[in-house]
Structure 1
Amino acid sequence: MKKLFRKILKYGLYTLLALFISLNLFVILSGRFYLYKGIANTYLVGESGPTIYDLDVFAYSTLEKGQGEDLILAQNYNKQKLSAADRAFMESMETKAFLVFKGDSLIHEEYWDTHDKSTVSNSFSVAKTVVALLISIAVEEGKITSIDEPVATYIPEFKNGGREIITIRHLLSMSSGLDWEESGKNPLSDNAESYYGSDLYGLVTRQKLITQPGETFNYQSGNSQLLGFILEKATGKSVTKYAEEKLWKKIGASHDAYWSLDKEGGAEKAFCCMYATARDYARIGQLILNKGKHKGEQIFPMWFYHEMISPSALNTADGIKNSRYGLHIWTYMAKSGQVNYCRGIKGQYIITVPGEDLLIVRLGSEREANITLDPARKGDKNYIESVRNKVGHASCLFHYLRMARTLTK
């Protein structure tokens, strides 16, 4: 029995050694050194991927707050409570914060676990919308001529390979036609390298054109990262400093915010990874709900608000026309009125419903899957018409909308 155990242990150790050597050979030969950082900060610490509390995993920059402003609490602040069923759903989604505003007044504010109103957490792709707002400000200031300007004006590597026809608008509408591999799970994807790697500029400028720009919606984080580099080239400032000056200090943020960098002194991860409190995320939402205005000052231009929330005329992989995405913001065309929102991969939401003067901030660690067409019913026109506006949106969105409406009654 002892001999058998020793034999099993011996072969087990040999197997582990072989796997270790193979993995290292793969990393070295493929040049994917970012995998070491990824493995060290996920599997080796009991995580399966990035978390909302990854701030200290990476170098980061700071967006300093200005004077700061108090939020307006409604007279019925926190008087309404979530139902037992809704609370169970929230907990199943590992919700950390849920805030609901009617106009500028905070109706409901709730936190879970150790997360509270002073906790900063990862925005993930909510940051994409922030970058888009900064692009519009740069256009208004004349730093960028137009959102229809070629990307190559600011990124010289795009003057070849057919990429010279890609415009800033194509990046904003996620229709650049580039070969970026978008995946939140594949450790070999461009997303994984952009999150854990240390050369964002090299990664995004190596992309190749594979389809005609401006024709098909294809959500790609590389588009947002290119916008970040365009912003830097056009303004002569880092994304952080420009955001601090033109946005953060102007909207009454009560806490400093942070932005993950690809290395110490490096580039902001413009496609993700801004860190702020739930209340300060709400200030971004209020700015969008108020069409770019804060206390009478137009922070980002009105013309961009209208363009941003207008779904781009694009095809989709589902075979239906795009109605889900504008210029770096998600758009749900509900019969009761349009919903415009920012979304992160783990269920970060800043949701605005202009027709109801409603704002929702939801932060957490889980998100339900996107609604898709049933392949068996793709020939059923009535079915397609009934679901077309929900396709591409995560089903949890509709739960948060319903809960918020209940809480504001």
Structure 2
Amino acid sequence: MRFIKNFLFWLIVVFGFIIILMYIFDVDYLLRAVRTIYFRGETTAFLDDYREFPNRTIEKGTAQPWALHKDYNKVKPTQRLTEAHKDLETVAYLIIKNDSIWHESYYDGYGKDSRSNSFSMAKSIVSAALFKAIEEGKIKSLDQKVSDFYPKFGTGMGADMTVGDLSSMASGLSWDERYYSPFSIVTRAYFDDNLEDVILGLDVTEQPGKEFKYLSGATELLGMVITRATGQTLSEYVSDKFWKPMGAANDALWQVDNPDGIEKAYCCIASNARDFSRFGRLFLHNGNWNGTQILSAESVQKMVTPRFDESPQYGYGWWIHNYLGKKMYYMRGHLGQFVIVIPQDNIIITRLGHLKGLQTDTDPHSNDFYVYVDEAYKMMGMMQPNDGEGNSKALTEADVLLQE
């Protein structure tokens, strides 16, 4: 009995000492990470982790239900799509054609009102909020300096950094985009309870506005700018300018660093496939929603046009691809969250789930993107043989299921 008491005493002492060291070396955010992620057996943020964090509500207004297509759910998923859903643990898959839901499938106990984490799809929403704030005159233009809002960035190369640089991922910020390292700045930003201090601790180490470099910290700083410019929290602004006018069926939740803090602008809106898809429909119609111009057509086209010729895969907050001879643009999030817009055929494809496909060094578009697009076209009987660059990307099952 004495041995057990001594063991427990020294165990407590050791753990106490470790915790003290974590505070001394400023890595106490790892306590939150261990409690919310690692003790659950996860190695990274997960689809339902919004329950583990404080959230701010993105309030809905009067709901505008989606129309159901006359052929709603008459066609089952292809075998290849079914296998991908199973192995990549899809929870929702929608095909929207001519503004009507043509197909929807849910898995793992999820349904049309189930919330899950948007992850970086939120970046597209934050950039839409930027362009809205510019249209309202609350931000002068894409060329307005970040230092107008945060003087900390008013010296050195930081003095050249604009809000457009933040949206287009050309910020030059000192940021390490590693999701699986407990000591990366991404992990700190996800779990720290003072996110503003984390971001204001960054430096500008590369010349802004010169080249595309995907950094979540840029979107977080952009969200902070929008908050200062509008005098509203991001959740309030997105609710007023988008969520309510688009008739979202449910309130959404946006993770914040602490109950009185700021939104994780680079990620972490908890909503459902149908409501996320509304942004796809808004952009499909060049910012028009049932006759109301929520966002100007010029803003939409700017966002879905590459800023840099050397990086044709990204515009302002939206990913871009030319595939099957068609221009496609999409919202994308960690673990394979997608809202894909194909204007030429008036199609939106939305997928939410637990795992993603392989991201190669040579293709900025992950392999599962091609599966969700190819199989949707097959289901609709619209897949046509193409030559040259329009070829369907025929991936093997192994290609699809390999994980980073």
Scaled by the length of structure 2, what TM-score is found? 0.89
Match of 2:399 in 1: none
1:163 is matched with which residue: 134, 158, 165? 158
Whether the 8 Å CA contact 1:161–1:208 is kept in 2: the answer is no
Amino acid paired to 1:114: G
Amino acid paired to 1:43: Y
Structure 1 residue 236: deviation in Å? Answer: 0.7
Match of 1:376 in 2: none
Structure 1 residue 282: deviation in Å? Answer: 1.0
Structure 1 residue 17: deviation in Å? Answer: 8.4
CA gap 1:303/1:202 in 2 versus in 1, 3 angstroms: same
Structure 1 residue 25: deviation in Å? Answer: 5.4
1:66 is matched with which residue: 46, 61, 65? 61
Match of 2:84 in 1: 89
CA distance in 1, matches of 2:21, 2:95: 48
Amino acid paired to 1:176: S
Match of 2:338 in 1: 349
The superposition leaves residues 274-294 of structure 1 with CA deviations (integer Å, 9 ceiling, x where unpaired) of 111111011111111111110
Match of 1:368 in 2: 357
Q: Tell me, yes or no, if structure 1 residue 50 matches structure 2 residue 45.
A: yes
Secondary structure in structure 2 of the residue aligned to 1:106: strand
Match of 2:370 in 1: 398
CA distance in 2, matches of 1:20, 1:369: 38
Moved over 4 A (4+): 12-23
Match of 1:382 in 2: none
CA distance in 1, matches of 2:193, 2:20: 20
CA distance in 2, matches of 1:15, 1:398: 55
Match of 2:394 in 1: none
Scaled by the length of structure 1, what TM-score is found? 0.88
Match of 1:106 in 2: 101
2:250 is matched with which residue: 231, 250, 255? 255
Match of 2:145 in 1: 150
CA distance in 2, matches of 1:75, 1:90: 25
The superposition leaves residues 180-225 of structure 1 with CA deviations (integer Å, 9 ceiling, x where unpaired) of 1111111111111111111111111111111111122110011111
Match of 1:359 in 2: 348
Secondary structure in structure 1 of the residue aligned to 2:214: coil
Whether the 8 Å CA contact 2:157–2:208 is kept in 1: the answer is no
Matches within 5 A, 1:5-404: 20=15, 23-24=18-19, 26-313=21-308, 321-334=310-323, 336-373=325-362, 391-404=363-376
Amino acid paired to 1:343: R
Secondary structure in structure 1 of the residue aligned to 2:267: coil
Secondary structure in structure 1 of the residue aligned to 2:340: strand
Amino acid paired to 2:341: T
How large is the RMSD of aligned CA atoms in angstroms?
2.0
The superposition leaves residues 365-398 of structure 1 with CA deviations (integer Å, 9 ceiling, x where unpaired) of 111122323xxxxxxxxxxxxxxxxx21111100
Amino acid paired to 1:363: L
Query: Any stretches of 5+ residues in structure 2 without a counterpart?
Result: 382-404
Whether the 8 Å CA contact 1:292–1:298 is kept in 2: the answer is yes
CA distance in 1, matches of 2:146, 2:323: 34
CA distance in 2, matches of 1:215, 1:148: 14
Whether the 8 Å CA contact 2:250–2:275 is kept in 1: the answer is yes
Amino acid paired to 2:349: I
The aligned length equals 377
Amino acid paired to 2:225: I
CA distance in 2, matches of 1:56, 1:256: 15
Whether the 8 Å CA contact 2:127–2:317 is kept in 1: the answer is yes
CA gap 1:330/1:150 in 2 versus in 1, 3 angstroms: same
CA distance in 2, matches of 1:235, 1:311: 27
Whether the 8 Å CA contact 2:131–2:299 is kept in 1: the answer is yes
Whether the 8 Å CA contact 1:179–1:208 is kept in 2: the answer is yes
Structure 1 residue 23: deviation in Å? Answer: 4.7
CA distance in 1, matches of 2:18, 2:40: 18
Using the aligned pairs only, state the percent identity: 33
Whether the 8 Å CA contact 2:157–2:206 is kept in 1: the answer is no
CA distance in 2, matches of 1:182, 1:163: 20
Structure 1 residue 313: deviation in Å? Answer: 1.3
Amino acid paired to 2:172: G
Match of 1:408 in 2: 380
The superposition leaves residues 7-60 of structure 1 with CA deviations (integer Å, 9 ceiling, x where unpaired) of xx9xx9999889857753552232111100001111212222211111221111
Amino acid paired to 1:345: H
Whether the 8 Å CA contact 1:102–1:408 is kept in 2: the answer is no
Secondary structure in structure 2 of the residue aligned to 1:162: helix
The superposition leaves residues 144-187 of structure 1 with CA deviations (integer Å, 9 ceiling, x where unpaired) of 11011111111121112431110011111101111111111111
